[in-house]
Amino acid sequence: MSARQRPVVAIDGPAGAGKSTLAAFLAVRFGLLNLETGAMYRAFALKALEQEIPLDNADALEALTAGTTIVLEPNPKEIRNRVLLDGRDVTARLRDSDVAEAASRVSVHPAVRAWMVSRQRGMGAAGGVVMEGRDIGTHVFPDADVKIFLDAAPDVRGQRRFLQNPGVERSAAAAAAEVRDRDERDRSRAASPLVPAADAVHLDTTAMSLEEVCAAAERLVVEKTGFAPVR
């Protein structure tokens, strides 16, 4: 356990692994703040889309960060936070497939990641947070008290992503293809590629139910930190 009075829990893994769901569960279970890094990237990507900035224009995206504020507010009626982009609630829009795809593309730019990481570190510096993403345990919080690398077979993750967004007009095969494309970008990008931290506990959820995943992660937090669930 670090010198922080309350722990930092880092959850990393590829698209569709269930990171957001697990982070929301642990935040409620242990009374932690859920810092959704994926939502932060989606909010920034949404702003780029709205301003019609090419997602491969690194200089324009870096300039866009200067006037951007992203705030996460706990929502007592939902398991996930409200997301405010420059003071505007964009929570509902962030689940749309075009925003998710754009988030993957803007996140490969080193300047965007550096800007985002500085804010994430500031938000979690005092501890008492659970953070999910793709480089939390390796780059954002390499000294996290608990590190989990959540994974599953690509086809399983694609199916989960398909079921997660029933209103999106696409097939299960298309969802699986999107997951594989996302994996390739995340693992091959120059800035903080997706890799498990050396000291992360690997959870392969391919054959696990949600309840089993949550129970395993809960035991891990208790073992690593000594903190007991609060609810």
Reported as a single tens digit per residue, the pLDDT across 49-84 is 999 999 999 999 999 999 999 998 877 666 678 899
The string of pLDDT tens digits covering residues 103-137 is: 989 998 999 999 999 998 988 888 899 999 888 99
Q: Is 231 a domain residue?
A: no
* CATH number of 187's domain: 3.40.50.300
pLDDT tops 70 at residue 169: no
Q: Is 2 a domain residue?
A: no
Q: Is 91 a domain residue?
A: yes
**Dihedral angle computed from the Cα positions of residues 100, 7, 83 and 155, in that order, rounded to the nearest 10 degrees:** 20
Domain span at residue 199?
A: 8-223
pLDDT at 44: 98
Give the span between the Cα atoms of 220 and 120, in whole angstroms.
23
Q: Is 200 a domain residue?
A: yes
Q: Is 206 a domain residue?
A: yes
Q: Is 1 a domain residue?
A: no
- Using DSSP's 3-state secondary structure scheme, residue 149 falls into strand
Q: Is 229 a domain residue?
A: no
Summary mean pLDDT of the chain: 87
Q: Residue 92 contacts by C-beta under 8 Å, 6 or more apart in sequence?
A: none
For residues 168-188, give the mean pLDDT: 71
The string of pLDDT tens digits covering residues 31-53 is: 898 988 889 999 999 999 999 99
Q: Is 230 a domain residue?
A: no
Q: Rank 160-174, 178-192, 209-223 by mean pLDDT and report only the highest.
A: 209-223
For residues 15-37, give the mean pLDDT: 89
Instruction: Count up the domains in the chain and report the number.
Output: 1
Give the span between the Cα atoms of 231 and 227, in whole angstroms.
12
